[in-house]
Amino acid sequence: MTGRFPIEDVSPVVSCGRYPAKAVVDEPIPVSARAYREGHDALGCNVVWAGPDGASRPFTRMRPGEPGQDRWHATIAPDAVGPWTFSVEAFQDPYLTWQNAVTKKIAAGQGPEDLANDLAEGARVLAAAQDLVPTADRPRVADALTALVDTDLPLAQRVDRALALADLLWDHPVRELVTAGDTYSIWVDRKRALYSAWYEFFPRSEGAAGGRSGTFATATERLPGVAAMGFDVLYLPPIHPIGRVNRKGPNNALTAGPTDVGSPWAIGAAEGGHDTIHPDLGTPADFRAFIQAAAAQGLEVAMDLALQCAPDHPWVTEHPEWFTTRADGSIAYAENPPKKYQDIYPVNFDNDPEGIRAEVLRVVLHWVGEGIRIFRVDNPHTKPFDFWHWLIAEVKAVDPDVLFLAEAFTRPAIMHGLGKIGFTQSYTYFTWRTTAAEMRAYCEELIEAADYMRPNFWPNTPDILHESLQHGGPPMFKIRAVLAALLSPSWGLYAGYELFEHVARPGAEELLDNEKYQLRPRDWAGAEAQGRSLAPFLATLNRVRHDNPALHQLRNLRFHEIDNPALLCWSKHDPETGNTVIVICSFDSREVQWGNTTFDMPALGFDWHERFTVHDELTGTSYDWGQRNAVRLDPYLQPAHVLTVRRPTPPTEPQPAGAEPADLTVAEVPDDLSGGTAPTTPATTTTPATTTPATTTPATTTPATTTPATTTPAATTPATTTPATVASRLSAARSAAARSSRSAPTAPAPKDDRWTS
């Protein structure tokens, strides 16, 4: 160790400081360290941090954590894009040492004579403090010093003013024996690096007709629809010329017909390579106009960066050394057994690394010059890691706003490694976490990696159509959207999700008639007009994300206990604004599920005994909740509660002590018993009655308007009225309702017209 005091286990630090930690502008970054000293004198810690301009930011004092652990904590919030540095300092705090000694000795009955040395020490500390506090506070310190040395005053009056300086001298301490720890780095991106909503479409399919490709001009007509759903990043697959040699046909057929369009990832033909636009889509001017039109709708265009070539790419003839030659003299094509990609040649980065690096950097900066600031990188795990580390740093040196999304579904160590070396965001295993327990465990792993790996959750891609979507029906599309949009601050989906596209190619986990190999125009407006679109639901999710700053973060994700393994309960709380969102989501797309929550109340910003109001953003209903609540989720209505938390207001007319709520009648039993208490605001039902399964409670038992809006606060409810009492009344009322309706015929569950093959 170096210095007077040990400073250990500093966070955030990535790979012992080899790579910078990650943050975005104004993101609260938790900084912690373990620091301790010998003896009983007080230790203090602080964070010293500086921005890209090299200027130091205000002194940030650290607070001790759990007693006995010697862990210190602080939060900093960088306010500019670029490289930041920070270090932790430990120091002897003579004021805290003095304060602790004096208060204990006075409490033990010691007088001025016993405290003579302590009073003198206090005077020394205050004299030093006068030059450290703000000018406006210096008279307070001077008055305290004067009183402390005045032997004519009673002891209590001598020390009171000095003890009252505790908060001031916490923020502006006298520091002795200052020990500086190592300096670490944080790369700070713009906010979209952490919080974003992506939508992927193939521009060639938008406006395609009669086997003829769509263009950037026709794709522009789709932009308002994407923006209306609340997405802010529009990702385009490769827009370059497509090779003709070994071109694939529909559904990955080995032989393509004369009019087949081929895969956009088979990049390069006689028209050009990675720096060229496919002539069927338009000109460079058309592309710039498309980018501008997207920006006018609030959409930023992200571009695909796929470092691979079709056999007729110009690089193949100009630089054959950039590829791998097999024993028979042929160039190796891409394979992912059992998949074969005869239309794609991987680049070999070892044959001419300097030449390849220079060319790729030129290509990327070309598109940066065209207005692209986001790249979705195809299969980065198949290229050298030192290449990516170099390339990302070189690009950010030119424009630090450029972001890179790693499309890598591979071993965890590799996915984490890509995040460490500079990738801004990462695809994840979200798609394959299909139970509540799996999802919770995986998200907790991602929170642990939040200093360097930012997840982006996608329910589907052109390559991935999980069996849960193939067979789960429309409710599963809602479920996966809720999980993706509200667990992760960044999420995305591929076009067609809102139309419940679910029919898979036999033997493959991807769509039949895959858009990678053919045009796929869709009737967006017709689907919405006929109620066959999930677009309004997706718009609601993105509106909730936009309106609640707690959902813009990853580190604040907390899970809460719920006694049904088919349900997942989590929250996000933003201490800065007080905003809190609670989500309870079912993983069952077919059956109604009940559960009982047990909240970690401090994680919600409440004390353990408090009650509060939650407002369901999906149904418009509000509930009075506390630590424990009952929930009921029907996948054919809404498979999730998305709840914004509202702090209670004092009642204007509290019930007198001893008063009990009137017994519930059958007509007053709410259809939705989520929370174990009646809704405080009537639900606004938007789901047509024809979609309600026959197993739901008859509507005659649930007139929501009979529920009074002024629910009695828990603090005024007498002890004799317990949850069990209310529950017993509800049970009795339910039983009576059931007896009165046994003779009623039961209609079969209606068919959902949106779910057809």
340 carries a ligand binding annotation? no
Confidence of residue 336 (pLDDT cuts 50, 70, 90): confident
**9-38 pLDDT per residue, tens:** 999 999 999 999 999 999 999 999 999 999
Percent of the chain with pLDDT over 90: 84
The answer to the question of whether 379 is labelled as a binding residue is: yes
Q: Label residue 705 by pLDDT band (50, 70, 90).
A: very low
Distance CA 295, CA 698 (A): 49
What is the structure's pLDDT at 544? 98
Does residue 515 register a pLDDT over 70?
Answer: yes
Residue 649: band (very low, low, confident or very high) from pLDDT cuts 50, 70, 90: low
Residue 219 vs residue 710, higher pLDDT: 219
Q: Report the predicted TM-score, pTM, of the whole model to 2 decimal places.
A: 0.86
Range list of β-strands (E), 531-574: 557-562, 567-573
What is the pLDDT at residue 338? 83
What is the per-residue pLDDT across 637-646, written as a single tens digit (0 to 9) for each?
A: 999 999 999 9
pLDDT at 661: 41
**Does the annotation place 308 within a ligand binding site?**
yes
How many CA atoms are closer than 13 Å to the CA of 169, on its beta-carbon side? 27
Is 515 marked active-site? no
What pLDDT, on a 0 to 100 scale, did the predictor assign at position 437?
98
What Rg do the C-alpha atoms of the chain give, in angstroms? 32
Q: What is the pLDDT of residues 31-65, one digit of tens each?
A: 999 999 999 999 999 999 999 999 999 889 999 99
Determine the angle formed by the axes of helices 138-149 and 155-163, rounding to 10 degrees: 160
Say yes or no to pLDDT of 476 above 90.
yes
343 annotated as ligand-binding: yes
* Rounded alpha-carbon distances, angstroms, from residue 125 to 118, 165, 179, 342, 622: 11, 12, 19, 77, 55
Residue 191 is labelled as binding a ligand: no
Exactly one of 200, 232, 407, 451 is catalytic; name it: 407
Cβ-based neighbours of 336, under 8 Å, separated by 6 or more: none
Kindly tell me if the per-residue pLDDT of 522 is higher than 80.
Answer: yes
pLDDT of residue 652: 55
Q: How many CB atoms lie within 10 A of CB 245?
A: 15
> What b/e sequence results for 174-184 when a residue is b if at least 16 CB atoms lie within 10 Å of its CB, and e otherwise?
bbeeebebeeb
pLDDT tier, 339 (very low <50, low <70, confident <90, very high otherwise):
confident
Q: Give the whole-angstrom CA distance, residue 117 versus residue 663.
A: 70
Instruction: For residue 637, give both structure tokens.
Output: 């209505």
The model's confidence at residue 738, banded by pLDDT at 50, 70 and 90, is very low
Q: Flag whether pLDDT at 718 surpasses 70.
A: no
Which among 378, 510, 588, 617 is annotated as catalytic?
A: 378
85: Cβ contacts below 8 Å, ≥ 6 apart: 49, 50, 183, 184, 185, 186
Length of the chain: 757
CB atoms within 10 A of CB 105: 14
Q: What is the mean pLDDT of residues 225-229?
A: 98
**Strand-by-strand arrangement of the 63-64 sheet:** 7-11, 29-35, 71-76, 63-64
Catalytic, 407? Answer yes
Interstrand relation of 71-76 and 63-64 (parallel, antiparallel or unpaired): antiparallel
Annotated ligand binding at 248? The verdict is: yes
Strands 233-236 vs 196-200: parallel, antiparallel or unpaired: parallel
Q: pLDDT grade, residue 755 (50/70/90)?
A: very low
